[in-house]
Amino acid sequence: MKKLLVNVDHVATLRNARSEGYPDPVEAARICESHGAAGIVFHLREDRRHIKDADAWGLKEAVTGLLDFEMGATDEMLDICCRMKPQLCTLVPEKREEITTEGGLNMPLIMADYRSRVLPKLAEAGVPVSLFVEPSIRDMELCAELGVPVVELHTGTYANASDADKPRELKRLREAAERAHSLGIKVNAGHGLGFANIRPFLEEVPHLAEISIGHALMADAIMRGLPTSVSEMAALINEYN
């Protein structure tokens, strides 16, 4: 079953623009779950540019479905995550100068550190792990080598591709999903997906479980309302189950 997870980071972005107490990402999470979302995603960044620590703990208390804690694998974030114990921790690359996450983890570069420092700490705390990765056969095989049970395929390149390049990107995503599935790895996906591009993605890419959507839903919600945006996206995804 494909399920919608909603990223509420940009509710916090809007709140922080005026340093007001609203809109509240925790209340947004409640609305999303009551209108078809199977869970909530948040990214607690080192610079706290959107989600703050209080938001993260508020989401832990409020979310009734799956809570996916996205984070860079810093010692600080590992400590917070191990105390919080979310249902899923998705490890992502993070750079201070980026506007948003720009791609998947550099798997060959992080292998030794993740094997020795990162994954053992999360395993000891009982926190399930997902890696945010590029849709490549090699990266799926490296994830299997690490024993990671879940991957989140980076869909940003597909989302931003020209019409001429989209078939190539869908092929990469399809082949990566098939390889991950063959290795016993659960396949999630996210980044840049929205109403304008999700149907071809759902039609072409197999074995999908959780699909994370944030910015596009929040942008749509400004015009049409969060309940409408979330319920319509959840219904659209359900068409492909």
Q: Is the pLDDT of residue 101 over 90?
A: no
Using a pLDDT cut of 90, give the percent of the chain over it.
95
Q: Is the pLDDT of residue 97 over 90?
A: no
Among residues 33, 70, 134, 169, the one annotated as catalytic is 70
For position 94, what pLDDT does the model report? 75
103 band by pLDDT with thresholds 50, 70 and 90: confident
Quick one: CA torsion of 172, 196, 94, 148, rounded to 10 degrees? Answer: -50
Q: pLDDT for 226-235, tens place per residue? A: 999 999 999 9
H-run or E-run covering 153: strand 150-154
For position 19, what pLDDT does the model report? 86
Among residues 43, 50, 134, 169, the one annotated as catalytic is 43
Among this protein's residues, is 215 annotated catalytic?
no
Q: 68 has which bridge partners?
A: 41, 88
For position 165, what pLDDT does the model report? 98
pLDDT, mean of residues 33-44 = 98
Q: What is the rounded radius of gyration, in angstroms, for the C-alpha atoms of the chain?
A: 17
Among this protein's residues, is 207 annotated catalytic?
no
For position 100, what pLDDT does the model report? 52
For position 95, what pLDDT does the model report? 64
Among this protein's residues, is 76 annotated catalytic?
no
Distance in angstroms between the alpha carbons of the first and the last residue of the chain: 6
